[in-house]
Amino acid sequence: MRYLKRLFISPWALNLLPALVLIAAALVDLPLLAKLEYPFSDRLQQYRRVQKPDPVVLIATETSTASARGTRSPFPEPVLAELRRLGAQSITLLAPPADSLHAPATRAGETQKIVPPALPSPVPLPPPRALLLNCRNPLAGWSWNDAFRPPPYPDDLRPEGHLIFTPDSDGKIRHLALFLEVEEKLLPALPLTLLLRQLRIDLKQLELIPGELSGSIRADRTAIPVFRNYRLALDLNPAHRAYVKFSAAELLEHRIPGRQLKNRHVLLGPGAAFGDRHLVAGHGFLSTSELAALAASTLLNGTAVQRPHWGWLVEAGVILNLALLFALLMPKLSGRAAAAITLTSLLTWGILVAGSLLVFGIQLKFMPLLLFCLVSFSFTQAHNLYQRDKSLAQAHNRLLLQRFKEQGLYDLALERGLSLTAEKKADKETLYHLGLEFERKRLPDSAVSIYQHLLGYGRFRDTKTRLAQLREQNHSTPGDNARQTTLIAAGKEKPTLGRYRIEQELGQGAMGVLYRGVDPKINRRVAIKTLDYAHIEPEKLETTKKRFFREAEAAGALNHAHIVTIYDIGEDNGLAYLAMELLEGQDLSRFCTVAARLPTAQVVDIGGQIAAALDYAHRHGVVHRDIKPANIILQPDGRIKVVDFGIARVVDHTHTDSGIILGTPSYMSPEQIGGKKIDGRSDLFSLGVLLYELFSGKKPFQGNDLTTLMYNISLAKYPPLKSVSPGLPPDCYRIVAKLLQKTLTRRYRSAAIVARELAAVSSELKRS
C-alpha cells in the first residue's frame, strides 16, 4: 500500500493519469470538453478567409406575397417563369410538400407518401486493432455527446431531401446531418442532393464511411468532409458572402438584375416560415431557408471545415509527449520556469491549431491540451511544494539527530529517530546507524524501538536479525551517556600516538578528539586530530580508513601561506591520527559581534587571504565544505590560517552516506542544504556569510529553529549588508551580495576573482 501511495503521487502519475483521462474524454466527445471547445473554434473560424463565389441565391417569400396575388401557393408559376427567364441554373423548393408546385398534385385530404432513396449502407465499424492501424478513433462507438447522435426524422419528408438542423450541446447550430436513417435507409439532406445534381452524381455512387467516424464521403473525384454521423460543418464566418437573398416581390417587380441569377442555384423558401428561428454560431438567428442556403453554399464552395480521421492521434500524441516531458522536467524546475514551459507549450499548440484551421481548414482540438497543462502544472507544483516541505523536515530531523547523538543526548536522538520517515535509502541508513550506536552504548530498548520503526518501511540489511537478538535479552543495561576522552585519563602516564607524545586535550570535533602533542625527535609542538572508529559502521571501516589517509594526503600536499600545514598521518593501535601545525592565535568567532568588530580594512584583508587560500585549494581539487569563523585562525601577526582542509570531506563521507547533513547551519550553502553536488562555489557562499558577519556583527540568515534557518538560506532574502552596516565601501556591498547569490551560476566563478577584487578594495582603502 505504501508503494502504491508513492507511485500515485509521483510526477509520472501526476502527469500521465490526467493525460490519459483527457485523451479518453476527447475520444468519447465529453460534452463538457465540447462546450469549452466551441467558443475557441467559432472565434477561429470567423478569421478564416476563403475566396469563393456565392453560387446560391435565396428567394424568400412571405404569406402576404401569396395573398396579394390571390393564390394559395407562395411560389406561383410567374415566379418560376421569371427565374427560368433570368437563367437560373437550378431551382429548388424549400416549402413543405403540400405547398410545393414541384411535387405532383394531390387530392384534398390525401397524404403524400415519400420513400427515401436507397443508399449503400456504410461498412461496419472495424475492430479496435484495425482502428488503431488505420489511425481511427478506437472509442468512436462510445460517444457521450448527444449532439453527435443522429437527429430524429420528421413525418413530412420532402422528395429533395431533409432540412433538419440539430443544435449542439450549447444550443447553437454548427452542423447539418447529410443523412438521416429512415426505415433502414439513409435520407440525404437537401443541400447534398443539390450538390450531387450539379456534379451529376447518383446517390448510390457515394462511398460512405462508418457513421461513428469522421473523415470524408467520396464520389468519383469529390470528397465531402464530415464529422461523426455524416455531419457537415457549416461555414461560420459571417464575413463570407455565402449566398444572396432577395424577396419574391423584388423578383416579380423585375428589380433583380439578370446577372444576379444567371448560372446560380436558386432556393425558394419562406423567409420566416416553418415558425422557427435558429441560433447559428457566428451568424446569429437564421430561418430554415437561410440555413439551407448557408449549407448549400458551404457544400458547393467546398468551404466546410474538416475533421480528419487521424486528428485524434495527433492530439493524443501531443498530450502524451508533453506528459512525458513534464514528468521529467517539472520536478526539477522552479515555479517560474515550469510556468514558462507550460505557457510556451500552450502557445505553440494554439498556433498550430489556429494555423491548421485558418490555412488548411483542418480542425484540431485545443481544450484537452489546455486542461492537461493546467492540471499538470497545478498538480506538479503542489507535489513539489509538498516534497520541499517534507525534505526540509527530514533534513531538520537528521541534523538534530546527529547533533544529539554527538552530544550524548540519546533520549532526544531516539525521539528524532522515531519521527524520521525511512522511505529513502539514506534515511534507512541513518536509522540503522542510530540503532547500532544504541547497541554500542548498551541501550537495547532504544535500539529495539529504532529497529521496529525501521522495519515498518520494509526489510533492511540485518535489521530483523538484530531485533530478534535484542528481544532475546531479558534485561537491558543503561549506558553511560557521558562521552569520555579517548586517550587521556587522570593519574596515568601520557600516552603516545606513533612517535608523538600527547600533552593535552584541546577539544572534540565531529570526527574525533583534538590534542596538543610533541614530536620528540625534533621537539616540535603539533596539533593531533584523531578519527574515532566508534562512529563508523564495521563494514565501512576499511573504506573510511583508506579515504581518510587519501584525503589527508591530498590536504598535506597543500602548501600555502594561509593553509595550515599537515606534517604526518598514521595509525596506532586501531586509531588513525593526523599531525599538523600548532597555531598560535584565536579563531574569528570572537570578532563576529557588533561590539567586537574588526576594522573594515582588516576584514577586507582577511577576506582576501581566505579567498587566496580557497583558490589554491580549489585548483588542487580540494573543497573545504565547512568555512566558518571557528575554522579561521587569526595569528598575532595579522595573518590567517584556514584549518580542516581535507578533513571536512572525510567527515562528510562518513556521515552523509547515511543521509545526515553536516556543516555549521548558519554558514551552509543552499547546495549543502539541498544535498546537491558540492564544488568550490559552495565555499564562496560560506565566505560571503563570514564576511557579512565580520562587517556587521550579525548573521545574514537567522531563524528561531533549524527548519526556519534552512528555509531562509535556501529561499528567503536576507537584509542587505548596507542596511545593517552603512558606511562601508560600495565594492564591499557588491562583493558580499555576489558571494551570497543562491544560484551557483550567479556567484563568482572562482575564488581567484574574489581575491583580486578584495585586493583592489584593500589598496583603495590604504590610499584613502
**Residue 233, beta-bridge partner list:** 175
Average pLDDT over residues 660-680: 77
Average pLDDT over residues 365-376: 90
More confident call, 92 vs 702: 702
Average pLDDT over residues 751-768: 91
d(CA 604, CA 611): 11
More confident call, 667 vs 652: 667
Q: How many CB atoms lie within 10 A of CB 173?
A: 20
Q: What is the DSSP letter of 207?
A: B
Tell me: the pLDDT tens digits for 534-590? 667 777 777 777 777 777 787 788 889 999 988 988 887 667 888 999 988 888 988
What does each C-alpha distance from 559 to 613, 620, 753 come to in angstroms?
10, 10, 20
pLDDT at residue 142, as a whole number: 67
d(CA 535, CA 544): 11
**What DSSP letter does each residue of 672-705 carry, written as one string?**
HHTT----HHHHHHHHHHHHHHHHHSS-SS--SS
What does each C-alpha distance from 754 to 505, 608, 627 come to in angstroms?
37, 7, 15
Residue 375: pLDDT over 70: yes
Return the sign of the alpha-carbon dihedral for residues 689, 695, 699, 701: negative
Tell me: the pLDDT tens digits for 729-759? 999 999 999 999 998 889 999 999 999 999 9
pLDDT at residue 474, as a whole number: 38
pLDDT at residue 478, as a whole number: 36
Please, what's the largest Cα pairwise distance for the chain? 140
Q: Are 189 and 92 in contact (CB under 8 A)?
A: no
Tell me: the pLDDT tens digits for 256-315? 877 777 778 888 777 764 456 889 988 888 888 888 888 988 888 888 899 888 888 899
Helices marked H in 503-627: 541-556, 600-619
Return the sign of the alpha-carbon dihedral for residues 59, 61, 66, 72: positive
pLDDT band at residue 243, thresholds of 50, 70 and 90? Answer: confident
Q: Are 537 and 436 in contact (CB under 8 A)?
A: yes
d(CA 707, CA 419): 15
Residue 119: pLDDT over 80: no
Q: What is the DSSP letter of 514?
A: E
Lowest-confidence region among 89-93, 491-495, 683-687:
491-495
Tell me: the pLDDT tens digits for 586-638? 889 889 988 889 999 999 999 999 999 999 999 988 888 889 998 899 999 99
Catalytic site residue from 168, 427, 626, 652:
626
Q: How many CB atoms lie within 10 A of CB 428?
A: 21
Mean pLDDT score across all residues of the chain: 79
d(CA 631, CA 648): 11
Q: How many CB atoms lie within 10 A of CB 331?
A: 18
Residue 73, phi-psi category: left (phi > 0), alpha (psi -120 to 50), beta (remainder): beta
pLDDT at residue 416, as a whole number: 86
pLDDT at residue 120, as a whole number: 59
Tell me: the pLDDT tens digits for 37-77? 889 998 888 888 876 777 888 888 765 444 444 444 445 56
**What DSSP letter does each residue of 121-189 carry, written as one string?**
PPPPPPPHHHHHHTT--TTGGG---GGGSPPPPPSS--TT-B------TTS-B-EEESEEEETTEEEEB
Global pTM reads 0.56
Residue 434: pLDDT over 70: yes
Residue 626 designated active-site = yes
Q: Are 181 and 239 in contact (CB under 8 A)?
A: no
Lowest-confidence region among 325-339, 366-380, 752-766:
325-339
Q: Are 608 and 745 in contact (CB under 8 A)?
A: no
**Residue 218, beta-bridge partner list:** 207, 223
Average pLDDT over residues 402-426: 83
Share of the chain above pLDDT 70, in %: 80
What is the bridge-based pairing of β-strands 265-270 and 185-188?
unpaired
d(CA 258, CA 195): 23
Cell numbers linked to 754: 574574489
Tell me: the pLDDT tens digits for 205-215? 888 888 778 88
pLDDT band at residue 419, thresholds of 50, 70 and 90? Answer: confident
pLDDT at residue 106, as a whole number: 30
Residue 491: Cβ-neighbour burial (10 angstroms; 0-12, 13-18, 19+)? exposed
pLDDT at residue 440, as a whole number: 63
Q: How many CB atoms lie within 10 A of CB 299?
A: 25
- How remote is the C-alpha of 443 from its chain's centroid? 47
Give the angle 715-720-726 at the CA atoms, nearest 5°.
165
Helices marked H in 593-729: 600-619, 647-656, 670-673, 680-696, 706-714, 721-724
pLDDT band at residue 183, thresholds of 50, 70 and 90? Answer: low
**Residue 101 phi, psi dihedral angles, 5° rounding:** -80, -15
Q: Is 370 helix (H, G, I), strand (E, B) or coil?
A: helix
pLDDT at residue 649, as a whole number: 54
Lowest-confidence region among 171-185, 315-329, 487-501:
487-501
Burial 721-742 (b: 16+ CB within 10 A, else e): beeebeebbeebbebbbbbbbb
pLDDT at residue 690, as a whole number: 94
- How remote is the C-alpha of 178 from its chain's centroid? 44
d(CA 219, CA 188): 14
pLDDT at residue 277, as a whole number: 81
From 764, 768, 754, 761, select the one nearest 604 (Cα to Cα): 761
**Residue 185, beta-bridge partner list:** 182
d(CA 535, CA 437): 8
